[in-house]
Amino acid sequence: MAVDYTVIVVYLAGMLAMGWWGMRRAKSKSEFLVAGRRLGPAMYSGTMAAIVLGGASTIGGVGLGYQYGLSGAWMVFTIGLGLLALSVFFSARIARLKVYTVSEMLDLRYGGRAGVISGLVMWAYTLMLAVTSTIAYATIFDVLFDINRTLAIVLGGSIVVAYSTLGGMWSITLTDMVQFVVKTVGVLLLLLPIAVVKAGGFSEMKAQLPTEYFDPLGIGGETIFTYVLIYTFGMLIGQDIWQRVFTARSDRTAKWGGTVAGTYCLVYALAGAVIGTAAKVLYPNLASADDAFATIVKDELPVGVRGLVLAAALAAVMSTSSGALIACATVANNDIWSRLRGAVGPAGQEHDEVKGNRTFILLMGLAVIGTAIALNDVVQALTVAYNLLVGGLLVPILGGLLWRRGTAQGALASVVVGGLSVIVLMATHGILANEPVYYGLLASLATYVVVSLATKPTDEAVLAAWRERLAGRSPEPVSEPAAAHQ
């Protein structure tokens, strides 16, 4: 295992080095939070694919393949469909807004009164998303170094917090590009063909496994529908995803670069399911389906290759974790703390925006590590995050983009009713039940339509300013460089 350890250590050291390099680039708020909005198609596609394909897509995707066969691809497949829908239908408009958070978009659309509560909901979502990614370090580091869960979370989490705090989105972008390459080589080019060959090829897999393992809908129609509601719609509105859209150099880059990333996700989804199916042939009696990835890597791959594939799993977790962390910190600072500071402090007071955002990444990172140590169930934490996001924010966000008659009152009521409905239903039906997101979304939609129609239409001046921003005719407010306040 010495060679494998060397591969992993070099990889982790490289992540920290890129964090240091990114710190030298991040001199303004725009550079720190959205990489100066300068990413071209190749880098944009790679980083977008990296953030959406995390530990759940890699380890969890293989686990679903182990449990259900080829239909286990549906979870990651719906993530890819969501990214394709976002890229084709919405990303160009989102990129032209030149904002930093989803709540800022809501403020622009509805007149500055809808962002506070939405910021709290989005903060809760991004926090739980970062926590679930951080918990996944325990699995990977246990395979690598046989260390206990808490130490694994602290080790992996500290590396992500370090490079994210140093260079912000520049560091995360650079590390995500490396992680994208490592995942492509490790999972698609190495693990996939080796797993199929070790299982005896597709003919032997079909001979050894029940027919339903090769049924595209074997996982069940209701499960697929729930995946679409949670993951496809979740891709349309998550701060972690939007913040990557904001990094695009142009609306064309956002549209076509995202389309390439979404297509890559569809391929990755099928690859994970095939690897899991092969693992079922090789190890039919594993105690947990989620052990399939680690088991096939440990037992079937040669030295060196094993280290690279484990680095690929680590890359998957780190890319999602760092993206969720900077999204959580951006929302906490720009949507929550800045409003509180403005309410209690003197107006117009200058402050170092880069230093402030860097501080919030560090604080949120410490909170994420502490919460990850305290929680055990990744699936429940991820379900809570997506239920709150979709049930509370999907309707007012898409309504603002698609329905002119939507009002600030309708948006606020929709967030509150949808969010509370999800929380109550999770408490009464169970966190993993389908009802919370189903009925929460319906309650949010009904409330948005009824309250919007019952209240005064949005002021025409607000809508005119909104249309100017959507068309890309309004310049981005200039952020002061960090050096100006040092």
DSSP 249-281: SSHHHHHHHHHHHHHHHHHHHHHHHHHHHHHHH
Backbone angles phi, psi at 39, to 5 degrees: -75, 135
Cα separation of 64 and 202, whole Å?
18
Q: How far is CA 310 from CA 4, 187, 197, 324, 432, in A?
A: 8, 9, 19, 21, 29
Check if the beta carbon of residue 95 is closer than 8 Å to that of residue 471: no
Model-level pTM? 0.87
Instruction: Kindly state the tokens that stand for 475.
Output: 């310049």
Cα separation of 35 and 176, whole Å?
13
Domain 1-338+355-377 top-level CATH class: mainly alpha
Look-up: residue for tokens 């380890």?
59
Helix axes 41-52 and 305-331, enclosed angle (nearest 10):
90
Cα separation of 66 and 271, whole Å?
12
Written as tens digits, the pLDDT of the chain (486 aa) is 677 778 778 878 887 887 777 777 777 888 888 888 889 999 999 999 988 888 778 888 999 999 999 999 999 999 999 999 999 999 998 988 888 999 889 988 998 766 678 888 889 889 988 888 888 777 677 666 777 888 888 988 898 898 888 888 888 888 888 889 988 998 999 999 999 999 999 999 999 999 999 999 999 999 999 899 889 998 999 898 999 999 999 989 999 999 999 999 999 999 999 999 999 999 999 888 888 888 898 888 888 888 888 888 888 888 888 888 999 999 999 888 887 776 555 545 556 778 888 899 999 999 999 998 887 666 677 788 888 889 999 999 999 999 999 999 999 999 999 999 999 999 999 888 888 999 999 999 999 999 999 999 999 999 999 998 888 776 665 544 444 333
Look-up: residue for tokens 């309250």?
451
